[in-house]
Amino acid sequence: MIFGADYYPEHWPEERWPEDAALMKKIGINTIRIGEFGWSVIERREGEIDFSLYDRAISLFAGYGIRTIMGTPTATPPAWLCQKYPDIYMMDRHGNVRGYGSRRHYCYNHEGYQEETKRVVKMVARHYSHNDNVIAWQVDNELGCEDDVLCYCDRCREAFTDWLKRKYGTLDRVNEAWGTVFWSQTYTEWEQIIVPKDTVVDGYTGNGHNPGLMQDFKRFSSDSMYGYAKLQTEILREESSKIITHNIVSEQCDNYRLAELFDTIGYDAYPYSEWDHNSSGRIGFLYDLSRGYADKPLWILEQQSGPCGWNVLGETPKTGQLKLWSQQAASRGIEALVYFRWRTCPFGTEQYWYGILDHDGVPRKRYQEIGQAISSIQENMEYLRLPEKKKVLLVYDYDNKFCHDEQPHVRGFVYKEEVVRYYEALRRLHIPVSVGSLAEDLEAYELVILPFVSMTGREDAERIDSYVKNGGNIILTPLSGQRRTDNQITTETLPGVFRNMSGVTVVSFHAMEKEKIHYEEIGNMQLWREELELDSAESFRKEWLSPEGSALVSENKYGKGLVFYISCCMESYDRMLQEICKETGTASSYGDIPECVECIEKSNCLILMNHSGEKQEVMLKGYKDSRSDQNSIIMEKYGFAVAVSS
């Protein structure tokens, strides 16, 4: 397994490198990742090519048994290149140029930058393709991380127009799909096509553009980022047979499609930062979403190794959390765990992004804890690498995300966070859950949850229909089946394509921006609720009723399977899912495990992780502690254990 650290030899005196290499080797680090921000290192001025610094670093670390993942340096086009192409920058929807001074300061559709990218990627690939100490390529770095997917410049308007021509063929079809007869928006010439910049109504509604235009612009923007990544992977495959990866983190790209380009799926994990303070469930969701992008090895290319932020710091991890987060990642069967970063940089934007070592380079508590994490993972590798049991699929769909991001129905509704609520509930109930797309093999799962799938094509609807008829079980939620794939609201009675299989009719709805309704048994209802009329369905629990007396959850026998419709958004779905999983035979039966202890079921063992700052007792049924043969385990705070079948 790869255990690595992100290292920037250009940041440190060369005489320090051997000490760093020796310290890495001591705790089991066998790989460094370099180069993703190093364009000016290898080409300080245009045409002045010099790989010698990286050559020496790669060679020196190889002497300590440490190999290299080499990044293509396109995440940070240097000053000379931006001077050469003054129009390289992206433009925001307000018409402001997003200029030089940080990173990712380029438009994916800039032809000049595309050519420069081809040149530098080919140059790096040819230089290191036969160097056995370089084991893999990382394309760029965190494409789409800095909200750099949506660009509103004239180049992107022209590229968007070409994209529409390829998709629709004629303007008549564009007009029909978008419903441009509304507000006299009909297009009669391709040159009239716009990108969705500010309008006169945006000051009070946020975005007043045509929903069809918005959806297609997001799809186009996702394709633009995909195309830029593909440009690089094609060159790397022409020049080399090494593994190609990328740290996929974008919120504005169809990451299932992006993942097709790479040999391994990369992810960057920062549970606590300036921007995030994630629950253990949300951390798990992000790992599982990443591995759900494709059936390929998962590499963590940046794992948090200290407190971090740019201008302010996120919460400092408690002693033991860095180790536990590493073990949590490893429980997903990862094949690479690379910590960001080795040593905290004394200059630049990330002065506060603490690494394994502090600014002074002295190994302290974090160094020791990371070493313990690596040792623990190595000791438990036989269990961690086992396949995880498939039981429940939680669908996460980017087309629906794009739609809900622009039109969330009610203030406070955020698609990703509402899907995470389902995930967190399943993890608290210790029910095995995978995260994936609508294209997943549904037959591999006993229960499929389709949260807020407003936009569904006929093909997907037919696959879901067939899955249930053949004995599968699904959960539908509010807003299901509401839209066509062109983002028009369906004229079918809701829940649209799901009406027949669900056996219900949505007869009314209530936006609940400032309202919560408390239920003693199931908790707080919030944000959105619907009133259901039962056709062939029945009320799942007679006592779970809306204020109007309609069923909150319905159950419909459909073919050999069951369809449940949860008609409201909840603060927590624990009780609802517990009862549904009992009904479908997907509930867990491992014994008495506290909610704060994450449980990952493998083929013949359980991985147990205590995410609380207190000791916890686990009473197992059918399993025993791999170390003591007892079915009772006392877990230390932020502790880790393996239980095997008894």
Q: What is the largest CA-CA distance in the chain?
A: 76
- Point out the catalytic residue in the list 36, 116, 142, 601: 142
Give residue 490's identity as a one-letter amino acid code. Answer: T
Q: How far is CA 6 from the centre of its chain?
A: 21
Instruction: State how far the Cα of 474 lies from the Cα of 467, in Å rounded to an integer.
Output: 9
DSSP summary character for residue 316? P
* Cα four-point dihedral sign 370, 376, 379, 384: negative
- Point out the catalytic residue in the list 302, 424, 531, 601: 302
Instruction: State how far the Cα of 515 lies from the Cα of 526, in Å rounded to an integer.
Output: 6
Give the closest residue to 321 by CA, choosing from 368, 271, 282.
Answer: 271
Tokens 């983190």 found at:
249
Please state, in angstroms and as integers, the Cα–Cα distance from residue 556 to each residue in 442, 459, 460, 562, 603, following that order.
19, 22, 20, 6, 32
Give the closest residue to 267 by CA, choosing from 370, 324, 336, 344.
Answer: 336
Name the token pair of 540: 């799942």
Give the closest residue to 503 by CA, choosing from 576, 563, 457, 580.
Answer: 563
Q: How far is CA 159 from the centre of its chain?
A: 27
Does the active-site annotation cover 142? yes
Name the token pair of 98: 């997003």
Q: How many CB atoms lie within 10 A of CB 508?
A: 12
Does the active-site annotation cover 302? yes
201 CB burial (10 A radius; 0-12, 13-18, 19+) = exposed
125: helix, coil or strand? helix
Determine which helix (DSSP H) or strand (DSSP E) holds 161, and give its type and residue range.
helix 154-168
Instruction: State how far the Cα of 588 lies from the Cα of 424, in Å rounded to an integer.
Output: 15
Strand partners, 43: 49
DSSP β-ladder status, 392-395 and 447-450: parallel
| Residues with active-site annotation | 142, 302
